[in-house]
Structure 1
Amino acid sequence: MNEKETLVRFGISMPQFLIEQFDALIVNQGYDNRSEAVRDLVRRALLAPSNIVPEQLAAGTIVMVYDHHVSDLPVVLTELQHDYHQEINSTLHTHLNYHQCLEVIVVRGVVRRLRELHQRIQVLKGVSYAELSVTHIDGQEPSSHQHNPQHS
């Protein structure tokens, strides 16, 4: 956290059983306090692809699992990746077993294009899993956040 940032205190009410589960979770994850854990939860929620403006620049990954024996699927995936070469920085491909491959595509670009690539992958026959995860939004460093005093 930036030294110049102003921390705002606010209260959260929740059932006893939920706070006990949350406290156990944050201890297991190594947090020093609830505030750090809540800040990370908020950051994660704000990075959900559905919460990001389509024209925003972002970076992240598309993870997929697919059956490479499905007719022409490896060729289709390669062609698709060539269609989005400007958004793709790197790929990692590994064989899970005789039929299934896991591929991680590191992407950076306009969120609309990243979503489009993800959607085109997930609907292909033979793709059993595909997920877009945004891990960075350009221009969203802590110094550029604007706080609304009505939310304190």
Structure 2
Amino acid sequence: MAERDELVRFGVSFPAPLIEQFDQYIDEQGYTNRSEAIRDMARRSLLEPSRMNGDEHVAGTIVLVYDHHVSDLPIVLMEVQHRFHHDIISNMHVHLNHDQCLEVIVVRGELARLRSLHRQIQAQKGVIYAELSVTYADKHDASKEHKHT
């Protein structure tokens, strides 16, 4: 939070069992007070991809777990990613066990396109889990300015 932001106080009522669970959560997460935890939860909920406009420019990740023994699934997932190569910055592939792989795909672009990529991945037979997580990003492409020597 910026120093110039005005703080607005408001009251929140919780049932006793819920506030006990919440207090335990904030202690486990290392928050020093309830306000910090509530602010973070509000920010996180406002960044839910389903709440954002499709034309917003965002950056984030698609995390997926899949069974690499499902016929042609690794090839299909690679083909899907190639169709969205302009939106994919990087990816990481991890072998979880004999059957399952985890991939983290770092993405940046128009949210509507990233949602489409996510849906195409999620719909594949053998994909056990797929989640899109995003945050706002500047439309300005900093990679064009960043020179490696």
TM-score (normalizing by structure 1): 0.87
Distance in 2, matches of 1:28 and 1:72, equals 42
Which residue in the other structure is 1:30 paired with? 30
Q: CA deviation at 1:66?
A: 1.1
Distance in 1, matches of 2:99 and 2:36, equals 42
Distance in 2, matches of 1:20 and 1:97, equals 37
Which sections of structure 1, spanning at least 5 residues, go unmatched?
140-152
- Partner deviation per Cα, 1:67-113 (whole Å, 9 max, x = no partner): 12222111111111110011111100011122211111011111111
Q: CA deviation at 1:45?
A: 0.4
- Runs of 4+ displaced beyond 4 Å: none
How many matched pairs? Answer: 138
3-state SS of 1:60 partner: strand
Does residue 58 in structure 1 map to residue 58 in structure 2?
yes
CA RMSD of aligned residues (A): 1.1
Does residue 95 in structure 1 map to residue 95 in structure 2?
yes
3-state SS of 1:38 partner: helix
Distance in 2, matches of 1:100 and 1:25, equals 31
Which residue in the other structure is 1:83 paired with? 83
TM-score (normalizing by structure 2): 0.88
Q: CA deviation at 1:138?
A: 2.5
Which residue in the other structure is 1:8 paired with? 8
3-state SS of 1:108 partner: strand
Which residue in the other structure is 1:118 paired with? 118
Distance in 2, matches of 1:12 and 1:127, equals 40
Distance in 1, matches of 2:137 and 2:90, equals 18
